[in-house]
A and B are shown apart, each in its own frame.
Chain A
Amino acid sequence: MSDVRDVHISPAGSGIHPREAAEHHSEVAARVVGDSLKQAGILADNLDVIAIALGPGLGPCLRVGATVARSLSSYLRIPLVPVNHAIGHIEIGILTTRASDPLVVLVSGGHTAITAFSGGRWRIFGETEDITIGNLYDMFAREIKLPSPAGPQIEGLARKASKFVTLPYVVKGNDVSYSGLLTASLARLSAGDRLEDICYSMQEVACSMLAEAVERSLAYTGKKEILVTGGVAANKSLQEKLEKVAEIHNATTYTVKPPLTGDNGAQIAWTGVLSMQAGLTTLVQNSRVKPKWRLEDVDIPWRS
């Protein structure tokens, strides 16, 4: 297996611009495909199938990847298999941690979802009702002119805090809501609170909220494993809190290790293998991208 990437970096203080990211993707695509074949030590002629990430994600960026995938499939005369990128996060997580029946905590810029497998699909037990935890970090960082993704810097600043500042803690059932926390954190900052204290308090509240939502979902589902994946899975504060949740309920925590936590091609390829074995190929004319493809709408015939 190989995993080659070239990630678009947006300038400090600004978010990802979909068109700029898509331009980046189309510039580097050919080289990334070539390098990954080289790294795997195989020729394009030896490929059996092309996995295509149809969504969810930014439309312009998905279309670049989809165009490359369709061209390869037509040129090499091999089938295309559609892959949902959130399912990719989960499958690579299960493969590398050997969890068997986990409650999955998917945390990234695009997702904050708590899900478990039942009756042929991943069912959502809890999620964010507005912005994701990754957005919270990134949007906060953008306001204070830190480059995105900003998690590690905010974590670093949080370590230099001297006190906890009260910020809104919003849990609704097994759901969380972060938009009020973002607004209040920025307001306290402009009211003169120290940046380090705000980073610490925002992180403490955000991760505690999520830990509580996970604990509620764990109690509701009775699962005995927690699998943490997605870009924000690397956050130490979140990891510690989820381990404490697991301890209370005699559950085991599995945290996917970087570089497989963030978005990557290997997870799409692996999920493509599982889908192909289940016979889920598609035709080029049916491979339209789905920017809002929900993970609970994907049938998973390979799992029982």
Chain B
Amino acid sequence: MLTFHGEADLPILIYTGAEAAIYLERWFGELAIRKHRVAKPYRIAELDQSIRQYRTSHEATILREVRKLSVPAPTILHVDPDSSTLIMDYVKGITLKEELESISKSERRSRFSMLGACLASMHKGGIVHGDMTLSNVISQDGRLWMIDFGLGNLSTEVEDMGVDLLLLNRSLRSTHFKFHSDLFRVFITSYLSTIGSKRGLEIVEKMKEVERRGRYFERG
């Protein structure tokens, strides 16, 4: 994903996601990430503009709250909603989605145990991620960083937390189905032990309910 050979290459486009273009650049001498939410031609300008501006400033707010909980996440260095741009710390590593295929079973389990504790700390602190997939977790020498909080929220609703679990479960099941049931079990065990089993089981139940809801809907 990253082809960074030296200073001469900067700034360099390192990743194009569904929402944003990610550049590596120098920001007052330090390596930093510039995240630019690009305009979407499939949305009318009025709607598109307000979504991108909102998510940009909102992501900065959420990231600040996440860091207060000691959950590893990049520090925001600069926010510019008008151009839908964020400048933040550069976290060097690869996404958990990519890493899973190349590490051992015990390493995979240790990552998911760590992820369970991270997400539980966020939920305990009243933050939901909103886009909890394996591409939004960066692994750096065994340490996990949470990124991409544009769809995040300050919420203590059981439903919102259940959706985080649902999205993670789906992300694992759809792309890593061979490891899915084992790793999700490891994740849940760790999640429950951090958040507390009473609250945690309530959230797990909600996850199942939300999943059932979207399936074949009977028109009444």
Of A71-79, A185-193, A203-211, the one contacting chain B is A203-211
Q: Tell me, yes or no, whether B198 is within 8 Å of chain A by CB.
A: no
* Chain B residues closer than 8 Å to A15, beta-carbon distance: 219-220
Q: Is A292 an interface residue (CB 8 A)?
A: yes
Residue ID in chain B nearest A238 by CB atoms: B42
How many residues of A sit at the interface, in one of the four size bands?
35 or more
A220–B177 CB distance below 8 A: no
CB-CB contacts below 8 Å: A283-301 with B: 291-294
Contact A164 B18 (CB under 8 A): no
Q: Tell me the bound Cα distance from A118 to B130 in angstroms.
A: 25
B65 at the interface (CB under 8 A from A): no
- Cβ B163 vs Cβ A124 within 8 A: no
B130 close to A173 (CB less than 8 A): yes
The answer, yes or no, to whether B40 is at the interface (CB within 8 Å) is: yes
**A141-179 Cβ-contact flags toward B at 8 Å (1 or 0):** 000000000000000000000001010010111110000
Tell yes or no: A41 within 8 A of B by CB: no
Report the minimum CB–CB distance from B61 to chain A (whole Å). 18
Asked if A56 CB lies within 8 Å of chain B CBs, one says yes
Q: Is A1 an interface residue (CB 8 A)?
A: no
CA distance A173 to B163 in the complex (A): 9
Number of residue pairs A-B, CB distance < 8 angstroms: 123
Beta-carbon contact of A219 and B18 below 8 Å: yes
B1-51 residues at the A interface, CB under 8 angstroms: 17-19, 40-44, 46-47, 50-51
Q: Is B186's CB within 8 Å of the partner chain A?
A: no
Q: Looking at the assembled complex, report how far the CB atom of A125 sits from the nearest CB atom of chain B, in whole angstroms.
A: 5
Cβ < 8 Å to A, chain B residues 115-169: 130-133, 135, 151, 163, 167
Is B58 interfacial (CB 8 A cutoff)? Answer: no
Q: Are A110 and B132 in contact (CB under 8 A)?
A: no
* Known contacts A123-B177, A129-B210: A172-B135 contact under CB 8 Å: no
Give the chain B neighbours of A205 by CB distance below 8 A. 47
A116-139 CB contacts (< 8 Å) to partner B = 116, 118-119, 121, 123-125, 127-132, 135, 138
Find out whether the CB atom of A245 lies under 8 angstroms from the CB atom of B163. no
Residues of B within 8 A of A18 (CB): 218
The closest CB in chain B to the CB of A176 belongs to: B214
Residues of B within 8 A of A276 (CB): none
Judge whether A173 and B47 touch: CB under 8 Å. Answer: no
Q: Number of contacting residues on B, CB 8 A?
A: 36
Main secondary structure of the interface of A (DSSP, over half): mixed
Return chain B residues, CB-CB under 8 Å to A212.
Answer: 18, 40, 42-43
A119 to chain B, nearest CB (A): 5
**Complex CA distance for A166 and B156, rounded to whole angstroms:** 26
Least CB distance from B47 to A in Å reads 6
Cα distance, A128 to B131, chains bound together (Å):
14
Inter-chain CA distance A211–B47, complex, in Å, is 13
Complex-state Cα separation, A56 to B218, whole angstroms: 10
Question: Which B residues are CB-close (under 8 A) to A56?
Answer: 215-216
Which residues of B are found within 8 Å of A218, using beta-carbon distances? 18
Let me know if B47 and A204 touch, CB within 8 A. Answer: yes
In the complex, how many angstroms separate the beta carbon of A41 from the nearest chain B beta carbon?
35
Contact A135 B41 (CB under 8 A): no
Interface membership of chain A positions 12-35, coded 1 if the CB is closer than 8 angstroms to chain B and 0 otherwise? 000110100000000000000000
| Chain B residues within an 8 Å CB radius of A130 | 213-214
A residues contacting B by CB (< 8 A) are 15-16, 18, 55-58, 109-112, 116, 118-119, 121, 123-125, 127-132, 135, 138, 164, 166, 169, 171-175, 204-205, 208, 211-212, 215-216, 218-221, 240-242, 244-245, 247-248, 291-294
